[in-house]
Structure 1
Amino acid sequence: MKLPVAILLATLCLHVGDSYRIFVVFPMPGRSHTILGDGVVRHLAAAGHDITYVTPSPKKNVPKNVRQIDVSDNFNHFPTEELNLKRHIEGDTALDISSILGYMLTIHNVTFHNPNVREILVDPNEQFDLVIVEWMFSELYSGFGAILGAPFIWVSTVEPHWMVLQLIDEASSPAFTADIMGSGLPPFSFKERVSQLFTQILIRGIKFFDNSEDKIYSSLAPYFKARGRQQPPLQEIAFNASLMFGNSHVSLGQAMTLPENYKGIGGYHIDSKLPPIPEDLQKVLDNAKHGVIYFSMGSNLKSKDLPDELKKSLLKMFSEIKYTVIWKFEEVLPGVPDNVHIIQWAPQPSILAHPKCVLFITHGGLLSTTETIHYGKPIIGIPVFADQFINVERAVAKGFAKRVDLSMTMADQLKSAINEILQDPKYTTTVKELSFIYHDRPTTPGAELVHWTEHVIKTKGAPHLRSAALAVPFYQKLYLDLLALTVAVLLVIRAVVHRIFKKSSKKEKTQ
């Protein structure tokens, strides 16, 4: 009896020895961002680690090894009116890149100075083995790692792009990689290449001339002082990440050159345990004779904000097709035809996983398109803002989607797209093939997340994965110093030759 007890105690000690304290920061006030943060916490907590989780949407009944830091006040600082679908149809929005950068800096600032966050940052007794932070158009959150004196990992919520890759290696070339806020796909035309280059220059210029980031970072000086640390320059710590997790996979995006410390774990947010489907909705799915079309514009965009005329035209169009439609809609909708079912909350993964679901009409958010590939369903994309345009364009290019633009006359286009996708088996066949590619990995994305997180801690920041490109100045990467030397040598040679000819000419004249 003593031997099994000894083995049990040894096993428990080993488990305790492998338990780390991890500080996870996902403070964006949006459902999709919270889902990604929850996924990180779920996997690491299940692996036995102690998690301190900064979130605007704290949950009830979390595991004992998860401590939530409430930053729900962040919702008061996000311009939800800019996400109103009616305003987008009317073209009355200010979601340009400059505005987005400004909104993100506001969220960064209030997160750092939230009393719940401040309490941890100024307490020297709060020690962590690692910091995991969401990157959102600013490098300010690298300050968490510097303040807490721990290595940190960036999490990029979208496909890899130049703004995040430059933090761990170098910016990808605009000649063959698309900007995440654009819609064009390579190979680019001359005009598109110029546009991609201009976008990089524009964003670099905005960030260079706007000193808002530096002001916010300077305000963190008391946090460093409370822990007895000198505050390093922001430009120094911004490029000091040990690793970057990307919410990406080649089945969704494009194949591209990536550094060793970029790990694509797209799909990690999808729980292997499907949420239960309410009984009435289960009956709708099970009894759908011709199949179910699931329609959702996501969590930030609200279908209720669509103009009444457009709602009526969509309902009329749905009544003319033979399929059952499940529409995620945030309020009671009058005049609903028999084949349309309105639900205010939808267990989306469970609906997509159901064999009767034959098509997904979506706004094109990356979580939704990832779930589309995961469950093998074709889509119709109605992009509205941010990365939704390029997500839908990629899906169209890969052959499992049709794009319909948001407009007052979109009902007829939507009907045409529905008929084409559901009458042509190539869309479903293609998405099934991509689903195989997506699932055919050495391990699950969640297991990979846990492995690399622990690897960074065990190797004290994983310096062996750090790209040498980070230590090379911009002018050296482009060999501008060699160009300058070559020009200087040529100018010297030209001057010497000119002087020789000038002297020779004088001698000839004197003779």
Structure 2
Amino acid sequence: MNFIDRLKNFVDTQLGGFFFTRTYDEEIRIFRAKFGPQFKDYDELVSAASFVFVNSNPYLDYPRPTLHKTIQIGGITVAVDPKTNELSKEWDSILNKRNTTVLVSFGSVAKSIYMPQEYRKTLLEVFESMPETTFIWKYEEEGSTIAKHLRNVYLSTWVPQNALLADPRLTVFITHGGLGSVTELAHFGKPAILGSLLYYIDNVVE
């Protein structure tokens, strides 16, 4: 890393510590109001814990020092059982429409409905230019007609992402690169196009 990279790391660490500390302090204040002033803060709780479960995977994450009580459980929520990932008739029918199927989802925070108009327009133009490809777009507006002129685009306010990624008929996943999505991709070995949206969270690492 050069000097600028190290400076960014320093600023990110300091800002992250500041904002998270304020959040944690507010949580502890609420707990103490409910359970009394003897309720321990996070520093005491973590220090006294026998184990600390963290949402990371040693095979996917950068090398870093850890303590003996740190247990990495990244991917524990990824369902790999075929019975669990069984799709409904509707989704099964959509996947059978064409030989190539693309899932487009930018997570639960950066919703597509809040995307700038020019971005949505660009996506629709890309979808239109590929009529032999089915696009499943997680779009959080019930009954939206934004893609009514495109027969190869299917909008849904919610998608069974885990089950779709587990299905061999899904060709590629276009995603913002959140930790959950990247973990699922790694488990299922699915190709993806990642576009980081939020620099200050985990997307740069992903």
Aligned to 1:256, which of 64, 84, 100? 64
Q: CA deviation at 1:248?
A: 1.3
Task: Report matched runs for 1:213-252 at 5 Å.
Answer: 213=25, 216-217=28-29, 220=32, 223-224=35-36, 230=38, 235-252=43-60
- Counterpart in the other structure of 2:110: 301
Identity %: 29
Higher relative contact order (CA 8 A, sep 6+): 2
- Counterpart in the other structure of 2:194: 381
The structure that has the greater radius of gyration is 1
Residue identity in the other structure for 2:109: N
- Counterpart in the other structure of 2:2: 189
Residue identity in the other structure for 2:90: D
What secondary structure sits across from 2:71 in the alignment? strand
Answering whether residue 133 of structure 2 is matched by residue 320 of structure 1, we say no
What secondary structure sits across from 1:389 in the alignment? coil
Q: CA deviation at 1:356?
A: 1.6
CA deviation vs aligned residue, 1:411-432 (integer Å, no higher than 9, x gap): xxxxxxxxxxxxxxxxxxxxxx
> Mean alpha-carbon deviation: is it higher for 344-353 or for 189-198?
189-198
- Counterpart in the other structure of 1:361: 174
Alpha-carbon distance in structure 2 between the residues aligned to 1:237 and 1:248: 21
- Residues 235 and 333 of structure 1: CA distance in aligned 2, closer, same or farther (over 3 Å): same
**Count of residue pairs brought into register by the alignment:** 199
Task: Report matched runs for 1:93-172 at 5 Å.
Answer: none
Alpha-carbon distance in structure 2 between the residues aligned to 1:250 and 1:211: 27
- Counterpart in the other structure of 1:310: 119
Which structure 2 segments of 5+ residues have no match? none
Q: CA deviation at 1:258?
A: 1.7
- Residues 214 and 292 of structure 1: CA distance in aligned 2, closer, same or farther (over 3 Å): closer
Task: Report matched runs for 1:369-448 at 5 Å.
Answer: 369-385=182-198, 386-392=200-206
Q: CA deviation at 1:264?
A: 1.0
- Residues 241 and 345 of structure 1: CA distance in aligned 2, closer, same or farther (over 3 Å): same
CA deviation vs aligned residue, 1:212-236 (integer Å, no higher than 9, x gap): 92895497166247xxxx5567654
- Residues 345 and 235 of structure 1: CA distance in aligned 2, closer, same or farther (over 3 Å): closer
Q: Retained in 1: the 8 A contact 2:102–2:170?
A: yes
Residue identity in the other structure for 1:266: G
Higher helix share: 1
Residue identity in the other structure for 1:326: I
After TM superposition, the score normalised by the length of structure 2 is: 0.80
Alpha-carbon distance in structure 1 between the residues aligned to 2:117 and 2:125: 12
Alpha-carbon distance in structure 1 between the residues aligned to 2:13 and 2:136: 41
Alpha-carbon distance in structure 2 between the residues aligned to 1:303 and 1:189: 36
Which structure 1 segments of 5+ residues have no match? 1-187, 393-511
- Counterpart in the other structure of 1:283: 93
Q: Retained in 2: the 8 A contact 1:363–1:381?
A: yes
Answering whether residue 160 of structure 2 is matched by residue 351 of structure 1, we say no
CA deviation vs aligned residue, 1:139-174 (integer Å, no higher than 9, x gap): xxxxxxxxxxxxxxxxxxxxxxxxxxxxxxxxxxxx
Residue identity in the other structure for 2:52: M
